[in-house]
C-alpha cells in the first residue's frame, strides 16, 4: 500500500484544487435581476422622471455634489476566477493520472502480463454521492472489445436553489463516447475517449464536443484504482474529474471515491457568466463481465 500512497495524495489534492468559491448564480439559470426586476426598475425610474419634470423644468444655475442625492452604484464586479479554476483543475487532473500511471508501472512484470482477451466486455453501474449541498446520481454503460468500444454516462444533480427560494435546481449531464484503449494489459487499461456531451439546466440546454481519458490499474488482488477526466468546450464548458477504488467480487464491482465538477455557461443564458464548482464523495456498485 506504500506505493499507492502518492496516488491517494494526488486524489485529495485534485479535489481541493477543483473546489472553488460558490458562484453568484446557478449554471444555466437566469439571474434574478435580468428580466422582471429590470422592467420594474425601469418603470420606477420613468415615474420619477415624470414627477421631476412636472415640479421643475428648468436647469439649475449651480449644482453641488454635496446637494445632489447619491445615486446607487452597484459594487464593481468581482474578478473572474474561471481561468484560475480551470487552470488548477487541469493541472491537478494531469498530475493525478501521471502519478497513478507511474505508480502502476512500478509493479514488476506489469507490461509483460497481457490481459486475457475477451471478445466483448460489458461494464455497467450506478453511483450516488453528495455535491454542492445536494445529491448526485450517476449511471454508466460501457461496451468494448480488445481496444475499441462505446461508453454512455448520465448524471442527475439535485441541488438547493442558489437564491435560497423554495424548491431545488436540477442539472442533467450526459456523454456519449467512442473509446480506444492504447494500453490494455492484465493489470492496466488506459482509454482515450471522444464524442458529445449535453447539459440541461433550468433555463438552457447545451450540446458540445467532449474528450475524456480514464485509467484502471490493479493495486492489490481484487482492488483497482479508477481515475477519469472529461472535458467539454464550445457553447459551454465542463470539467469532470473523479478518482477512487473499486473492489471486484466476481462480476460484482463495489466502488467509492471523490468526484469534482466544474460547469460554466459562458454567459449564454442572460449575458452573465455563471460558474458552478462542486466536489464530494461517491459510492456505488456495478457489474463487469
CB 241 within 8 A of CB 262: no
Rounded to an integer, the average pLDDT of 195-224 is 96
Virtual torsion, Cα 181, 183, 189, 191, nearest 10 deg: -30
Q: Domain locations in the chain? A: 2-30+76-288
pLDDT at residue 119, as a whole number: 73
Show the CA angle centred on residue 192, arms to residues 190 and 194, nearest 5°.
155
Spell out the long-range contacts of 82-90 with Cβ–Cβ below 8 A and sequence spacing 24 or more.
Answer: 82/264, 82/273, 82/275, 84/20, 85/18, 85/20, 85/262, 85/275, 85/277, 86/237, 86/239, 86/262, 88/17, 88/18, 89/14, 89/17, 89/18, 89/239, 89/241, 89/260, 89/262, 90/239
232-263 in b/e form (b: 16+ CB < 10 A) is beeebbbbbbbbbbbeeeeeebebbbbbbbbb
For residue 202, name the pLDDT band (cuts at 50, 70, 90): confident
For residues 52 and 148, which has the higher predicted lDDT (pLDDT)?
Answer: 148
Give the number of other Cβ atoms within 10 Å of residue 77's Cβ: 9
Q: Is the pLDDT of residue 37 over 50?
A: no
pLDDT at 175: 98
The answer to whether 238 and 197 are in contact (CB under 8 A) is yes
Note the pLDDT of residue 182: 96
CA angle 241, 243, 247 (to 5 degrees): 145
pLDDT recorded at residue 68: 45
* pLDDT one-digit tens code per residue, 67-125: 444 455 554 444 444 444 445 555 555 555 555 455 444 444 433 333 444 678 999 99
In this prediction the pTM is 0.66
CA distance 244 to 223: 10
Q: Which of 44-53, 136-145, 279-288 has the lowest mean pLDDT?
A: 44-53
What pLDDT is attached to residue 186? 87
Per-residue DSSP letter, 185: B
CATH class for the region spanning 2-30+76-288 = mainly beta
Span 148-167, average pLDDT: 91
Q: Is the pLDDT of residue 20 over 90?
A: no
Average pLDDT for residues 8-22, to the nearest whole number? 44
pLDDT at residue 159 tops 60:
yes
The tens digit of pLDDT for each residue in 231-270 reads 999 899 999 999 999 999 999 999 999 999 999 999 999 8
CB contact at 8 A, 89 and 239: yes
Amino acid at each position: 500500500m506504500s506505493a499507492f500512497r502518492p496516488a491517494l495524495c494526488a486524489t485529495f489534492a485534485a479535489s481541493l484544487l477543483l473546489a472553488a468559491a460558490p458562484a453568484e448564480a446557478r449554471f444555466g439559470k437566469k439571474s434574478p435581476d435580468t428580466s422582471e426586476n429590470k422592467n420594474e426598475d425601469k418603470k420606477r425610474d420613468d415615474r420619477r422622471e415624470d414627477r421631476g419634470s412636472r415640479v421643475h423644468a428648468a436647469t439649475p444655475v449651480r449644482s453641488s455634489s454635496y446637494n445632489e442625492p447619491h445615486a446607487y452604484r452597484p459594487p464593481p464586479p468581482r474578478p473572474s476566477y474561471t481561468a484560475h479554476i480551470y487552470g488548477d483543475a487541469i493541472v491537478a487532473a494531469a498530475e493525478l493520472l501521471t502519478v497513478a500511471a507511474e505508480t502502476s508501472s512500478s509493479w514488476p512484470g506489469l507490461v509483460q502480463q497481457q490481459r486475457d482477451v475477451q471478445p466483448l466486455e460489458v461494464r455497467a453501474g450506478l453511483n450516488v454521492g453528495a455535491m454542492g449541498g445536494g445529491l448526485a446520481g450517476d449511471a454508466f454503460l460501457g461496451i468494448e472489445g480488445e481496444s475499441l468500444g462505446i461508453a454512455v454516462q448520465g448524471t442527475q444533480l439535485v441541488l438547493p436553489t442558489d437564491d435560497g427560494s423554495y424548491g431545488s435546481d436540477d442539472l442533467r449531464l450526459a456523454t456519449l463516447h467512442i473509446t480506444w484503449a492504447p494500453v490494455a494489459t492484465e493489470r492496466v487499461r488506459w482509454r482515450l475517449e471522444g464524442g458529445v456531451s449535453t447539459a440541461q439546466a433550468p433555463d438552457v440546454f447545451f450540446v458540445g464536443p467532449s474528450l475524456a481519458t480514464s485509467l484502471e490499474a490493479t493495486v492489490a488482488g481484487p482492488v483497482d484504482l479508477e481515475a477519469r477526466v472529461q472535458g467539454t468546450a464550445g457553447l459551454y464548458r465542463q470539467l469532470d474529474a473523479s478518482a477512487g477504488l473499486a473492489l471486484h467480487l466476481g462480476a460484482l464491482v463495489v466502488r467509492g471515491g471523490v468526484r469534482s465538477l466544474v460547469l460554466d455557461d459562458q454567459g449564454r443564458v442572460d449575458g452573465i457568466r455563471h460558474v458552478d464548482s462542486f466536489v464530494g464523495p461517491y459510492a456505488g456498485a456495478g457489474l463487469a463481465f
